[in-house]
Amino acid sequence: MAKIQQVNYPFNEVATDLIVYVQGFSTDSDKCRINYVLTNEIGKQLLSDSYELTEEEFQGWGEDNSYIDQIAAARIPVTIIAE
């Protein structure tokens, strides 16, 4: 889970956290799908969506999972302030 800069979403709720999940993929894959969720401070889900990483994004992943959080944050868009 990553803390985000608070943002009103959609209108009268305040999103405070971004949770990102990576769906399973085979060892010979060159892309994968991520699911991401925006929640408020008590864990209420405000947004849920998914995105398929491009081959370039998948190759750029490496060993740092915060890279995937940044991709999800850019899709919404929100700003991560702490991981």
Question: Is residue 12 a contact partner of residue 81, using CB atoms and an 8 Å limit?
Answer: no
**9 — pLDDT class (breaks 50, 70, 90):** confident
The string of pLDDT tens digits covering residues 43-82 is: 999 999 999 999 999 999 998 999 999 999 999 999 999 8
DSSP 10: S
The predicted pLDDT at position 16 comes to 97
Q: Domain segments of the chain: what residues?
A: 2-82
Average pLDDT (23-52) is: 96
Average pLDDT (31-35) is: 97
Residue 14's nearest CA partner among 35, 43, 56 is: 43
**12 — pLDDT class (breaks 50, 70, 90):** confident
Torsion sign (Cα): 43, 21, 53, 49: negative
